Chains A and B, each alone.
Chain A
Amino acid sequence: MPSYSFVLNGKQVTVEAPADMPLLWVLRDMLGITGPKYGCGVGVCRACTSHLDGAEIQPCVVPVADCADRDVTTIEGLADGDTLHPVQQAWLDCDVAQCGFCQPGQIMTAVALLKRTPRPTDADIDRIENVCRCGTYPRIREAIKKASAAGEHPSN
Chain B
Amino acid sequence: MSDETHQPPVPPSSQRTGGPTRRRFMVYSLAASTLTVAAPGACDSSQATGAEPVAEGVRRPSDVLVTGADEEMLVLEVTAANKVVVRLPRVEVGQGITTAVAMMIAEELDAALADVDIPLADARTKGNQYTGGSSSVSSLYGPARALAATARAKLVTAAAKRWRLPARTLRTRDTMVIAPDGRKATFGSLTASAARISRPAVPSKPKPASRHRVIGRPTPRIDARDIVTGKARYAGDLSAAGAKPTVVARPPTIGGKAVSVDAAAARAMPGVLAVLKIAGGVAVVAESFHHAFKARDALRITWAPGPLASLSDAAIRARLRAAVPRFEAPPRRSSLLEAEFAFAFVSHAPMEVLTAVADVRANRAEMWFSSQTPMDARDSIAAAIGLPASSVRVHVLRGGGSFGRRLNYDAAIEAALISKAARRPVKLMWSRADDIRHGRMRPASHHRIRAAVARGRVVAFEHATASVNESYDDGGPSAQGGVTAAVARAGRAPAAGPVPSDSGLYNFGRVSGDSGGVSLAMNLGAWRSVDSGTTRTAEEIVVDEIARSLGKDPVAFRRTTLRNKAVRAVLDKAAAAGHWGRALPAGRAQGIAVHEEYGSCVACLAEIDATDPENPRVTKVVMAADVGTAVNPRGLEAQLMGTAIDGISTVLQAGLHIDRGAVREDSFADFRYARQRHAPLHFEAHILPSRREPGGAGELGVPAAAGAVANAYARATGTRPRRFPINF
Give me the interface of A with B, judged by CB distance under 8 Å: 1, 18, 21-22, 25-26, 28-30, 32, 34-42, 44-45, 47, 74-76, 78-79, 84, 88, 91-92, 95, 97-104, 107, 122, 125-141
A88 touches B229 (CB 8 A): yes
* Cβ A75 vs Cβ B674 within 8 A: no
B165-198 interface mask toward A, CB cutoff 8 Å, 1 = contact, 0 = none? 0000000000000000000000000000000000
Give a binary string over B280-310; 1 marks a CB under 8 Å from any A CB, 0 the rest. 0000000111100100000000000000000
- Chain B contacts for A30, CB-based, 8 A: 288
Q: Is A91 touching B224 in the complex (CB atoms < 8 A)?
A: yes
Hey, which chain A residues are within 8 Å of B231, CB to CB? 35
**With contacts A101-B234, A138-B641 known, is A39 near B353, CB below 8 A?**
yes
For A34, the chain B residues whose CB sits under 8 A away are 230, 233, 236-237
Residue numbers in A under 8 Å from B226 (CB-CB) = 100
Residues of B within 8 A of A36 (CB): 230
Q: How far is the CB of B77 from chain A (nearest CB, A)?
A: 26
- Give a binary string over B671-695; 1 marks a CB under 8 Å from any A CB, 0 the rest: 0011111011111000000000000
Q: How far is the CB of B250 from chain A (nearest CB, A)?
A: 14
**B728 in the interface (beta carbon within 8 A):** no
Known: A125-B676, A136-B641. A99 touches B245 (CB 8 A): no
Question: Are B429 and A38 in touch, CB under 8 angstroms?
Answer: yes
User: Is B50 in contact with chain A by the CB < 8 A criterion?
Assistant: no
Stretch in B5-13, B88-96, B254-262, B597-605 touching the partner = B88-96
**Closest CB in chain A relative to B692 CB, distance in Å:** 25
Residues on the A chain within 8 Å of B237, using CB: 28, 34
* Min CB–CB distance B239 → chain A (angstroms): 7
Bound-state Cα–Cα, A25 to B398, Å: 22
Structural contact, A42 and B669, CB atoms closer than 8 A: yes
Q: Please tell me if the beta carbons of B227 and A37 are within 8 angstroms of each other in the complex.
A: no
In the bound complex, residues from chain B placing their C-beta under 8 Å from that of A107 are 228
Q: Closest residue of chain B to A34, judged by CB?
A: B237
Q: Are A135 and B645 in contact (CB under 8 A)?
A: yes
Contact B290 A40 (CB under 8 A): no
- Cα distance A105–B384 in the bound complex, in angstroms: 37
Please determine whether B432 and A21 come into contact, CB atoms closer than 8 angstroms. no
Nearest-neighbor residue (CB-CB) of A100 within chain B: B227
Chain B residues contacting A41 (CB-CB under 8 Å) are 293, 431-432
Q: Check if B644 sits within 8 Å of A135, measured CB to CB.
A: yes
The A-contacting residues of B in range 446-477, CB under 8 angstroms, are none
Q: Is the CB of A133 within 8 A of B675?
A: no
Residue picked from B234, B638, B644, B646, most chain A C-beta under 10 Å: B638
Main secondary structure of the interface of A (DSSP, over half): loop
Name the interface residues of B232-248: CB closer than 8 Å to any CB of A: 232-234, 236-237, 239, 245
For B203, list chain A residues within 8 Å (CB).
none
Q: Do B675 and A76 have beta carbons less than 8 Å apart?
A: no
B401 part of interface (Cβ distance < 8 Å): yes
> 14 A-B residue contacts at CB 8 Å?
A29-B289, A35-B230, A39-B353, A39-B432, A45-B351, A92-B220, A101-B350, A102-B400, A104-B230, A126-B677, A129-B676, A133-B673, A134-B638, A137-B676
Given A76-B230, A137-B674, is A99 in contact with B679 using a C-beta cutoff of 8 Å? no
On whether A25 and B676 interact (CB within 8 A), knowing A34-B233, A131-B351, the answer reads: no
Q: In whole angstroms, what is the CA distance A74 to B237 when docked?
A: 15
Which one, A28, A35, A128, A139, contacts B641 given CB within 8 A?
A: A139
Would A37 and B642 be within 8 Å (CB), given that A97-B221, A138-B679 are in contact? no
Most chain B CB within 10 A, of A78, A130, A131, A140, is at: A131
Q: How far is the CA of A115 from the CA of B224 in the complex (A)?
A: 24
Residue on B nearest A92 in the bound complex, by CB:
B224
Q: Which of B340-391 contact A (CB under 8 A)?
A: 349-353
With A34-B233, A138-B641 in contact, do A98 and B95 touch (Cβ < 8 Å)?
yes
CB closest residue in chain A, given B642: A135
Quick check: A135 and B228 within 8 Å, CB to CB? no
B267 within 8 A of A: no
Beta-carbon contact of B667 and A45 below 8 Å: yes
- In chain B, positions 206-225 with a C-beta closer than 8 Å to chain A are 220-221, 223-225
Which listed residue (B220, B225, B351, B676) contacts A99, Cβ 8 A? B351
Q: Flag if A122 contacts B351 (CB, 8 Å).
A: no
**Who on chain B is nearest to A25 by CB?**
B290
With a cutoff of 8 Å between Cβ atoms, the chain B residues found around residue A128 in the complex are 675-676
Q: Report yes or no: A29 in contact with B245, Cβ–Cβ below 8 A.
A: yes
B399 on the A face (CB < 8 A): yes
Closest to A108 in B: B230
Contacts of B232 in A (CB 8 A): 100
Nearest-neighbour CB distance to chain B for A74, whole angstroms, equals 7
Q: Is B403 an interface residue when CB atoms closer than 8 A count as contact?
A: yes
Chain A residues, CB < 8 A from B429: 38
Query: What is the distance, in angstroms, from B166's C-beta to the closest C-beta of chain A?
Result: 41
Contacts of B657 in A (CB 8 A): none
Flag if B641 contacts A133 (CB, 8 Å). Answer: no
Asked whether any CB of chain A lies closer than 8 Å to the CB of B660, the reply is no
Docked-complex contact A103 and B675, CB < 8 angstroms? no
Contacts of B331 in A (CB 8 A): none
Q: Which 5 A-B pairs have the closest CB atoms?
A: A35-B230, A135-B645, A99-B94, A101-B400, A137-B679
Q: Cβ of A133 and Cβ of B681 under 8 Å apart?
A: no
Cβ–Cβ < 8 Å partners of B95 in chain A: 98
Residue of A nearest to B288 (CB): A29
Residues of chain B with a CB closer than 8 A to A126's CB: 676-677
Which listed residue (A95, A97, A140) contacts B676, Cβ 8 A?
Answer: A140
